[in-house]
């Protein structure tokens, strides 16, 4: 085994040490996040987590994500859970408390709660080609991220998906459930629904799908 002090090029060991620090910090951050609403409730920073949950519930209700209804007998009830994440700044201080409501997709039943699940993802070769073309022509590259992208996907009228009452926000009474009207993260068909929305929006703007890669949209100006 070769040790750092025996190596004529110690720079790569320094880089390795830096990677280890990043990995250790990432693991510590993940392990520091509450794994359940009960764990979040037991912590001293619970008010911060509660504010994050309230904010998420508010945005979901504003988007018309579900309707509270009496659960029809014999219907499959899809479960959900809260996922907590503490976002930190570069200096390690707390930047933001984030709470996501996700569906436990493994509780869905094929043929009852979903059918198509395939979601196209751009090929790495296509991505590299686009960057190469932009570099050769000295074009600017812009990238953006959509907040709550999946909420743009709507379920069809004949898709009846019922989700349990939200943990910590049970307001419908005994026997109530949420009938989903829009897509939530975790649903089996979430990626497929989002691609359909993206495809429709891009084509309305004059873009067309390339023949070699259906994940790439192009237009001529």
Q: Over the stretch 4-18, which tens digit does the pLDDT of each residue have?
A: 445 555 554 455 555
Q: Is residue 192 part of a domain?
A: yes
Percent of the chain with pLDDT over 70: 86
Instruction: Report, as an integer, the average pLDDT of 98-113.
Output: 93
Residue 22 lies in a domain: no
- Name the average pLDDT for the chain: 85
Beta carbons within 8 Å of 216's beta carbon, 6+ residues apart: 122, 126, 130, 209, 210
Which of 65, 41, 97 is CA-nearest to residue 163?
Answer: 65
User: What mean pLDDT comes out for the span 182-192?
Assistant: 92
pLDDT of 28: 47
φ, ψ (nearest 5 deg) of residue 70:
-65, 135
Domain count of the fold of the chain: 1
pLDDT in tens, 140-174: 999 888 777 888 889 988 899 999 999 888 877 78
What is the domain range of residue 52? 33-218
The pTM (predicted TM-score) of the whole model is 0.75
- With respect to residue 25, please indicate whether it lies within any of the assigned structural domains: no
Distances from the Cα of 172 to the Cα of 16, 49, 57, 165, angstroms: 54, 23, 15, 7
Task: Report whether pLDDT(24) > 70.
Answer: no
Phi and psi dihedrals of 98, rounded to 5? -125, 135
Q: What is each CA distance from 98 to 9, 33, 57, 61, in whole angstroms? A: 42, 10, 12, 17
Residue 4: inside a domain: no
What pLDDT does 205 receive?
93
């Amino acid at each position: 085994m070769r040790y750092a002090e025996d190596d004529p090029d110690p720079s790569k060991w320094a880089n390795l040490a830096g990677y280890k620090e990043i990995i250790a910090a990432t693991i510590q951050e993940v392990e520091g996040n509450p794994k359940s609403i009960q764990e979040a409730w037991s912590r001293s920073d619970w008010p911060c987590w509660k504010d994050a949950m309230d904010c998420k519930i508010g945005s979901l209700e504003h988007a018309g994500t579900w309707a509270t209804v009496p659960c029809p007998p014999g219907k499959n009830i899809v479960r959900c859970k809260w996922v907590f994440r503490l976002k930190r700044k570069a200096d390690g201080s707390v930047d933001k408390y984030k709470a996501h409501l996700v569906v436990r997709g493994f509780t869905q039943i094929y043929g009852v709660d979903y059918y198509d699940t395939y979601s196209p993802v751009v090929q790495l070769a296509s991505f590299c080609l686009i960057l190469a073309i932009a570099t050769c022509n000295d074009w600017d590259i812009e990238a953006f991220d959509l907040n709550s992208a999946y909420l743009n996907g709507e379920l069809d009228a004949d898709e009846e998906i019922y989700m349990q009452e939200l943990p910590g926000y049970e307001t419908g009474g005994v026997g109530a459930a949420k009938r989903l009207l829009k897509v939530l993260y975790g649903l089996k068909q979430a990626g497929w629904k989002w691609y359909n929305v993206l495809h429709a929006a891009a084509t309305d703007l004059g873009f067309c799908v390339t023949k070699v890669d259906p994940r790439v949209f192009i237009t001529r100006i």
